[in-house]
Amino acid sequence: MEGTAVAFAPGHISGYFKRIDGDSPKTTGSCGAGIVIDRGVTASVTPSPKTSVIVTDRTPDGESLISYGSGLIEELLSGLGVCAKVETTSGLPIGAGFGMSAAAILATLTATNAVFELGMSAEAISELAHETEVAHNTGLGDVAAASGGGVAVRNAPGIFGVNSRFFPSAEICSVTFGSIFTPDVIGSPEKMAQVTAAFPVGEPATFTEFMMKSRQFAEASGLIPARIRPVLDACDEAGILASMTMLGCGVFAAADGFEILSGFGTAVPLKVCPHGPILLEV
């Protein structure tokens, strides 16, 4: 129980989803599909007599934003019966539909497990991360998806709900204007009813199919903020596949949309991450 462990967990852009309520957080979650991305959260965990958390977030312009304390992470550590100094650094803005809350939980648990030699399997880490995420209403399907890489297609709630993963060579880009408070959306029965009705038929097997289904869902879901409509229109005009980052005020598009997205804000190039959480240092 000495030293520091550092872990990385990838983010996840959800293209479409539908809430599924089970009888516990373990069996509650979502079906849907999304891209596991190469930007995520790096967590460094050092055993300490008292728990403290430093969170480095990103603004939509890419600047660092430091804050102290995190109820979510503090609760996670206390549930494991350990105290540590934790630093999480997000590669993209928190709350903007990039699955940064799931990545923060997965990265923190992976590093905590290593430095305290808790003996948790990758599956046990994902299970606890999923239950934490669902219990806090910060996400439904991000943990299941980000526990591995690629484009993850989920046909059941929970960490065993990933039906297939494919690994396209296509790259993407994204622009964000800020956050959408996830609990307000996934906690609203009215919004969830419209989302469920918008869920697309059939499962995507290619990047293009995934993008088309995501956009079809976004349009029918009633979730598209007015702020991103001009970006989607500009992409449509140029024939570039694009949709809304669920659940954030932003757009993700095929890589050839980078210049168009840059006309609206700070565009970020992203790759499909080939893996789930990894330990970087122990």
Ligand X SMILES: Nc1ncnc2c1ncn2[C@@H]1O[C@H](COP(=O)(O)OP(=O)(O)O)[C@@H](O)[C@H]1O
Ligand Y SMILES: CC(C)(COP(=O)(O)O)[C@@H](O)C(=O)O
- Residues 50-63: b if buried by 16+ CB within 10 A, e if exposed: ebbbbbbbbebeee
Pick what 246 binds: ligand X, ligand Y, none; C-beta below 5 to 8 Å, kind-dependent: ligand Y
Q: Which residues contact 52 (CB under 8 A, 6 or more apart)?
A: 68, 69, 85, 86
Q: Are 15 and 243 in contact (CB under 8 A)?
A: yes
For ligand Y, the closer of residues 8 and 98 by Cβ is 98
Nearer to ligand X, 100 or 260 (CB): 100
Site for ligand X in 51-90 (CB under 6 A): 55, 70, 72-73, 88, 90
Binders of ligand X among residues 211 to 270 (CB under 6 A) are 248
Residue 276 contact among ligand X, ligand Y, none, beta carbon within 5 to 8 Å by kind = none
Q: Which is nearer to ligand X, 96 or 115 (CB)?
A: 96
* 3 state DSSP class of 77: helix
Q: Please, what is the minimum distance in Å from the beta carbon of residue 218 to ligand Y?
A: 11
**With CB cut-offs between 5 and 8 Å by kind, which of ligand X, ligand Y, none does residue 72 bind?**
ligand X
Residue 32 partner contact from ligand Y, ligand X, none using kind-dependent CB cut-offs of 5 to 8 Å: ligand Y
| Residue whose structure tokens are 């570039």 | 240
Q: How many residues bind to ligand X according to rule CB under 6 A?
A: 21
Q: Is 99 helix (H, G, I), strand (E, B) or coil?
A: coil
User: Phi and psi of 102, rounded to 5°?
Assistant: -65, -45
Using DSSP's 3-state secondary structure scheme, residue 165 falls into strand
Q: Is 182 in the site for ligand X (CB under 6 A)?
A: yes
14 binds, among ligand Y, ligand X, none (CB under 5 to 8 A by kind): ligand Y
